[in-house]
Structure 1
Amino acid sequence: MVNRHTLSIVLFTAAIAGLSWWLAEITEPKQQRQQVAGHHPDYYAEDLTITTYSETGSPKHRLATEHLVHFMDDDSAELEHPHLWMFDPVTPPWKLRAEQARITNNGEDIFLPGKVSIDREGQGKNRPYHIITFDLKVQPKLSYAETDGAFRLDSRQDWVTSIGMRGWFKEPARIKLLSEVRSRYETQ
């Protein structure tokens, strides 16, 4: 049988241990859960459209996507089925479409892997353009795009193909073709 003296020592020790635990809980902040290092999304958006405007209030760029996922570690975003419009006050907008995109550098750089379609409607003396290219890098603020991949431009009955392209979409629009250039131009 346990004597009273031993029982009181055990109860006193248990009370001190319980009090110590309770004081530690209320005086020390709980340790924050550490983030696992790596490339993990921190937010996403569905059916998103973003438009940037000039100082005069006219649209400069518009980006629409079915699905956007943002990553905090490198401040990048991945998009599904992106559509990008680049506006110019004197011509119809250039419209870029792709299956995927990756935005980096605080929105300064957009990479469109795979097949990319670029279209501009004709208006007045400006011809319509339909472009198919691959792995396009775009800098929207500069209205600039480039690729080292295959490139094809169609305008009415005329066409031109090349490997690699540098393009400026703001008027006066111009394209620099890099290699293996072939074309057909019909006079009317």
Structure 2
Amino acid sequence: MLGLTALALWFDNVTEPLPSSTDSDLYQQPDYIAENISGLRVEYAQSIQHVFHAKKMSHFINQDFTKLNDVDFMYFKPDTPPFRVSANQAEIHENGKNIFLNGNVNAIRGTDQDDKKIIVKTESLHLIPDQEIVKTDQQVMITRLNTTINATGLEFNNKSNTIELLSRVRAVDR
């Protein structure tokens, strides 16, 4: 009888349900996940295309943002060089109005064959697609032709084709 009681107590402890999570814990988890995903957004009136590829996409309903891992963004507009950005991670907020890229961020304006293409490398970038603005307050390295520029902070306006370097600017011409 003692053995049966011990077995019942042990079985009760082993089969005890997991502690229930609070409602807020549920909202910290993604409501959906997609892997190896690509997307295309077209603005037909202006012939603009936004394309993205990501290894993994997770949407978080409570914070209303989407997280992408190993991501590539491409932006195509007539009469403007293509603009491509890749990063280890991106967060998309406000239905794509603000995109925050982090980790090994590389931005290229121009085609691979274009000698005058601009390459920007940094650890963090904030994209504002509707305004065609890219900015950061982090260290950046910009390469074009034989010139390399290092700076802290940058704002790039694709519409006006201007780059504003915010501080600690140093240029080297090879």
- Consecutive aligned runs of 4 or more in structure 1 exceeding 4 Å deviation: 122-126
| Aligned-partner residue type, residue 85 of structure 2 | L
TM-score, normalising length from structure 1?
0.73
8 Å CA contact 1:69–1:77 kept in 2: the answer is: yes
What's the Cα RMSD here? 2.4
Deviations 1:113-154 (A, max 9, x none): 222001133599982111111211111121111111001111
Q: 2:138 aligns with which of 145, 149, 170?
A: 149
Q: Using the alignment, how far apart are the partners of 1:57 and 1:122 within structure 2? A: 21
8 Å CA contact 1:77–1:104 kept in 2: the answer is: yes
What displacement does 1:35 show?
A: 7.0
Match of 2:148 in 1: 159
Larger Rg: 1
TM-score, normalising length from structure 2?
0.78
What is the identity percentage for the equivalent residue pairs of Structure 1 and Structure 2?
A: 27
| Aligned-partner residue type, residue 120 of structure 2 | I
Unaligned runs of 5+ residues in structure 1 are 1-33
Aligned length: 152
Match of 2:91 in 1: 102
Unaligned runs of 5+ residues in structure 2 are 1-20
Deviations 1:19-41 (A, max 9, x none): xxxxxxxxxxxxxxx97214121
Match of 1:71 in 2: 60
Question: Does 2:164 match 1:176?
Answer: yes
8 Å CA contact 1:91–1:123 kept in 2: the answer is: no
| Aligned-partner residue type, residue 151 of structure 1 | V
